[in-house]
Structure 1
């Protein structure tokens, strides 16, 4: 029995060490395209996680679409938590300059460590590229400025983005739902931030017929 326990402990330590080594060897900047993830802030703020995010969810912060992240992506899967020469922590004076689109240091820091670290960019360049990616997108006005609850099908939300953004194709966008509420809109962009298709991302999108779009809390 003791030998079996010791063997199990040794094996667990070996696997943990191997996993850490593999993480350090993940190449940064080696990916196929970006996914710009736009989060519907009122859905996030209505959940338990929103209670711990006053910078985003206080009643005087009526955010609607915000940037969840700009994610390096491959045709299948994606890299994450890549080793690079940049610090893990994003300085607050750098992060706060992006609070209009990513309204908390917790969000910015996590996105940098998990996704930005794999972009091959510095922290400053990654955040600037995130802003440039958002600036490429025209948000549908009837959703982005809504003051009351709305309901659409997932397909209708996609269509609104397609109509507002010439060149964006149905295979380049996916809706994410949290239950029956709008969670995110994910748009695939080439490394030069032009629109491009992304079969795996599109295939995983929400397709329900009634997606509730809650308004900001007051």
Structure 2
């Protein structure tokens, strides 16, 4: 017995709807931006931040990049109550729900993310981490893995060996090419801020596409991202402490 055309049409619409829902719920490749701060430069322009008041010359942030965030690119504030969204947008980060991490991960995060003194981790989880599809421990564990890979590379070596000196966008992008393969530097944007007559490098943002987890290839994650404009053409790698 032939199947009525209306039944076939409905079945076709249902199949399209199901495929669309699957694509929405399970994207083939997750897109991220990873933000790494050069903390001395950031603090030079934000001296009143809690994390900037007592910088130590032998501290982690004196010679390493620090964690700003890992940002899924599809959307923000996934399943977050409007009260928390309002608190986050108004800068009342300390009133946001605390981030529940294992003691070991909490200790590491406090070291490599100085902004935890200003509840940055609560803001980052509320706005970005809730859209990662991961729990808090996994999300921050993955972010720290990316940071570790960056700090073990020629990029950190470039900054650490040029403290107090100017580095150019070309030098930074060249260090990414050296560390993570040709073209990696084209996926990196440099952010700078003015401090009087000086221009300081304050942050690098890096495009990533794929599954971020310890043991993955950061070079492959970077290569899968789209090229971006380079941002500022260079600036001073500020030393720890106020100048």
TM-score normalised by the chain length of structure 1: 0.70
Residue 210 of structure 2: which of 165, 180, 191 is its match? 191
Q: Cα 1:132–1:104, aligned 2, differ >3 Å: closer, same or farther?
A: same
Matched residue SS, 1:161 = helix
Q: Does 1:115 align with 2:134?
A: no
Task: Please list every run of 5 or more consecutive structure 1 residues that lacks an aligned counterpart in the other structure.
Answer: 1-26
Distance 1:118 1:41 in 2: 26
Whether the 8 Å contact between 1:32 and 1:72 is mirrored in structure 2 is yes
Matched length: 181
Distance 2:207 2:184 in 1: 10
Matched residue SS, 1:83 = coil
**Which one is further off, 27-36 or 178-187?**
27-36
1:38 aligned residue? 36
2:50 aligned residue? 53
Task: Please list every run of 5 or more consecutive structure 2 residues that lacks an aligned counterpart in the other structure.
Answer: 1-23, 82-95, 213-220
> For 1:39-82, what per-residue CA distance to the aligned partner results, in whole angstroms no more than 9, with x for missing partners?
1101111123x42223x552324514101111112xxxx42121
2:140 aligned residue? 127
1:90 aligned residue? 99
Distance 1:29 1:141 in 2: 34
Structure 1 moving runs of 4+ over 3 Å: 27-32, 91-97, 141-144
TM-score normalised by the chain length of structure 2: 0.63
Higher Cα Rg, which structure: 2
Residue 206 of structure 1: which of 216, 222, 231 is its match? 231
Question: Would you tell me which structure has more helix in proportion to its own residues?
Answer: 2
